[in-house]
Amino acid sequence: MALSYDEMQQIFKQLGFDSFSMRPYDAEMEYLLSAAMEDKAIAAYLREPPGVTSKSRIARELNMDRSTVQKYYDEIRSEIREGKVQVS
C-alpha cells in the first residue's frame, strides 16, 4: 500500500519530525543512478574473471541486456588497462 504525501507527513509528525518534505521525482537523477549501478556491476564482474570477453556471457551472468553491457564494456576495459579500476 502506497501512502500519500499527506499521510506520510502525518506519520513523520507523529514520530517527532516537525518539518517533513519530499524531493520531487527526478527522472534524470534516476537514470544516472541506474547507469552507475550497471557500470559498477559490469566492472565488478570484469575484475573477477578478467579473461572473460564475451559480452553475451557477461549479460547472462549479470541478468542484463547485452546492449547495456556493450554500452559500458569498452570504457570499463580501458579503465582497467589504465589502472583507474583495480583488478583483483
Note whether residue 73 is domain-resident. Answer: yes
Q: Domain range spanning residue 48? A: 26-82
Note whether residue 20 is domain-resident. Answer: no
| pTM, entire model | 0.51
Across the chain, which has 88 residues, the per-10-residue mean pLDDT values are 77 80 71 75 76 85 87 82 64
Note whether residue 69 is domain-resident. Answer: yes
Note whether residue 76 is domain-resident. Answer: yes
Note whether residue 1 is domain-resident. Answer: no
Question: For residue 60, what is the domain's CATH number?
Answer: 1.10.10
Q: Is 39 exposed, middle or buried (0-12, 13-18, 19+ CB in 10 A)?
A: middle
Q: Report how many domains make up the chain.
A: 1
pLDDT at 71 (0 to 100): 85
Cα gap 71→38, rounded to integer Å: 10
Q: Is 76 exposed, middle or buried (0-12, 13-18, 19+ CB in 10 A)?
A: buried
